[in-house]
Structures are given as structure tokens and as C-alpha cells.
Amino acid sequence: MYLTVNCPGWLRQSSLLPPEPETEASKEGEAGHEIAALAASCHGWTPAGRNIASNGVEITQDMLDGAARWVEALEGFPAHIETPVQIRRLHPTDCWGTPDARQWSPDTLTLRLADYKFGFEYVDEFENWQLLAYAIGALDELFPEGSWVDRPGITVEMTVVQPRFYSASPIRTWTIRTAGLLHYTERMREAIRQADSAEPPLKTGPHCTHCPARTHCPAYDKAFYHAIDFAGRADPMVATPEQVGRELSLVREFVKRLEARETGLAAVAESMIRTGKNVPGWALEQSAGRLAWTQPLEVVEGTARMLGKSLLKPPELITPTQAKDRKLLDAKVIDQYAARPNGAFKLTPHTNKSVRSKFA
């Protein structure tokens, strides 16, 4: 939905290509989702000696800490975990999805949709098109004949839980009322109408980074070569704050598109090489894994002690955040012994996002 709203032509373009190959990152994300879903479905669940997810990926402490955050985010009222929803208001047959969690409180007329993201890339809760679409489908299930449309007092909470994005709160929620949801409903319906048209428009932007058709898209090709041409221009030095702001915004936009092009081409090249094709200038080389002990700890340490040495690391504290995630100490106690120092200043783009989020 995120791609469709930003580029109605992406789906038609992607349908002409084979699916992108699975990556180590995607398999790790799948495993992280599995552990989080188990923890939410069976409160207090632990691996109990199991250290491998069903897709063969090792269960890490990061996954267990993230699952604890996921359970924390869903506290308050019962949740339906990974239950599919049809979204016929947006499209009669081809719009559906599986929310990671959805909750409904009839006492407060509050619908909560939550999405668990185990990756490192920031996922915005504000105007999150995936969660907005889920909210529409869930409300239509709760209120037959779409009667929720005439009930402006219903609250919709859309939450993103992202335990491994460390520059913001791991649990972030955007709240709107049903009156605001109608505006987004119409935007999605119009985007889908364009996607179903004879010639759906192709539009480039930051969303291209996540589009599977980015290496075969004519609109993206033009933007890509325009970015290269722009980078090679011999322009005079910019002189005014207005010029600096405009050009910096343009350069950052082009950098995002070039990075998207690079990741897309790398995926295609890897797929070609794996199927026996020659990609000039490129090859697949297997890197060596980390050197690891093949004998039990006591055997290796015992050998070292016979030689008058020790290979054990000195004990060290886990981080305050890990202590909170694992609920080893009360948050008030941790706050007495830990503090977050001020970080360095960072140049960030200034938009009207905060204003729009308040009036959505």
C-alpha cells in the first residue's frame, strides 16, 4: 500500500519480474517475527532450550528482548495475533493483509493496530499506509454495513514496535479518529483506481528503495541518470541559505535513489550469478565466518589453565536498556543508576510532518 499510494504503477511493473531472492536480513526478520508472535500468543513464553527458529535461523537475545517489547506494547486488552483481514472498502477482491496484532476495546471504542519491525531502518508510525489499510478492514469487520463511518468518536491507534532502532522510542503510536481515517481511505482508493487503469503512472521517490521493480522501471532509469548528470555538474558555489537548503535536499534525494538502484542491481546480479550467468566485473565470493571454538567451554578453559592462562572474559554489566527489556530491575531503580548523555548535533530535514500529524 505504501508503494501503491506513492507510485500506482509499481505493481504492474513488478508483475513482469521474478520475485526478489530471499536475503539473510529477511530470514532474520522472519525469525524475529516468529518469536515475537509466540511471546504475544503465549504470555511468558520462552524458547525452553530451543535455539533455532522454524526457518533455521538462530534465536538471539535481540529477538527475545524484542519479543518482550512487543508484549509490552500490547498490554491493556486482548490481542488477535496475525489474523488476516479483508479490506474490501479499498478493493473488492485484491486488498487484504495480516496485521501483526489488532485489538478492540468496546468500552473505550478504541481500535489498536500494531506492526512489529525487527529491522534497523526507521519505520514511521505517522501516515503508515499499511496500518491505515488494516484499520479500515478491521473497522468494517467490527461494524457491519460500514456504520463506523458515521461514528466519529472511535479512536484508532496505530503502533510501530521497532526494538532495534535506537534513535527513537522502540514503541511509537499515532492516534487519529475515524473522521480523519476517511481522508486516507479516499487517497488509497484513488491510488488503487490508478493502479487498475490501462496506464498506471510511475512516480519516483524515496519509496523506490523498497520497490522490487526499481532496476527495470523507465521512470526510475530517468531519475537515476539525471542524478548522475547532476552530480557531475560544475556549478558555482552556492551563496545563500535558500540555495544551500534547496541543493542539499536535492542531493539527499538523489543519494537515496542511487542507493536504491545499487541494492536493486546487486540483488539482480547475485541472482544471475547463482543461476550460472556471467556478470562482467562481478563475482560471488564466500567470506570466512568468525573463528569459533569447536570444543566445550570447560575443555578449552581447562587446557588454557594447564598452561597457566585463562580465556574467560571478565564479567561486565548488560546495558540499562537490556535490563529494562528483560525486566531485571524496576525502571525507577535503573533511572537512579543510569543516564543518557547528550549526543552530537545532527543535521536533519525540517518538514511540516509534526503539524500534519496533529491535524490528520
**Which domain CATH number covers 131?**
3.90.320
135 with 265, same domain?
A: no
Facing residues of 171 across strands? 161
Do 124 and 180 fall within a single domain?
A: yes
- Domain membership flag for residue 52: yes
Mark whether 144 and 170 lie in a shared domain.
yes
Q: Could you report the per-residue pLDDT of 204-252, keeping only the tens digit for each? A: 887 887 888 877 788 777 776 666 665 666 565 556 787 777 777 777 7
With respect to residue 320, please indicate whether it lies within any of the assigned structural domains: no
The per-residue pLDDT for range 82-116, each reduced to its tens digit, is: 999 999 999 999 999 999 999 999 999 999 999 99
Residue 225: the pLDDT is 64
Contact 208, 263 (CB under 8 A): no
Q: Catalogue the E-assigned strands of 143-213.
A: 155-161, 171-177
258-287 average pLDDT score: 84
Tell which of 216, 242, 277 closes a domain: 277
- SS3 of residue 210 by DSSP: helix
Average pLDDT over residues 302-327: 86
What is d(CA 113, CA 116) in angstroms, rounded to the nearest whole number? 10
Residue 291 belongs to a domain: no
Same domain, yes or no: 167 and 214: no
111 shares a domain with 13 = yes
Q: Are residues 185 and 268 in the same domain?
A: no
- Cα(297)–Cα(303) distance, integer angstroms: 10
Residues 115 and 211 in one domain: no
- Per-residue pLDDT of 57-73, as tens digits, reads 999 888 998 998 999 99
Q: Is the pLDDT of residue 181 over 60?
A: yes
Do residue 151 and residue 216 come from a single domain? no
Average confidence (pLDDT) over 309-314: 87
Over residues 335-352, the pLDDT tens digits come to 889 988 877 777 777 766
Of the pLDDT bands very low, low, confident and very high (cuts 50, 70, 90), residue 174 is: very high
Under DSSP, is residue 248 helix (H, G, I), strand (E, B) or coil? helix
What are the DSSP calls for 38-79, one per residue?
HHHHSTT---TT--B-TTSPBP-HHHHHHHHHHHHHTTTS--
Pair (30, 172) in one structural domain: yes
Q: What is the DSSP letter of 159?
A: E
Q: Give the residue numbers spanning the domain of 10.
A: 2-201
Rounded CA separation 1/191 (Å): 9
Q: What is the pLDDT of residue 19?
A: 74
Same-domain pairing of 153 and 106:
yes
The pLDDT confidence band at residue 133, using thresholds 50, 70 and 90, is: very high
Amino acid 359: pLDDT? 61
40 pLDDT above the threshold of 60: yes
Whether residue 121 sits in one domain with residue 51: yes
How much of the chain, in percent, has pLDDT values that exceed 90? 41
Residue of 40, 116, 108, 43 whose CA lies nearest to 80: 40
Domain count, the chain: 2
Within-domain flag for 348: no
299 lies in a domain? no
Grid coordinates given for 229: 548528470
More confident residue, 31 or 265: 31
Q: In the predicted model, is pLDDT for residue 52 greater than 80?
A: yes
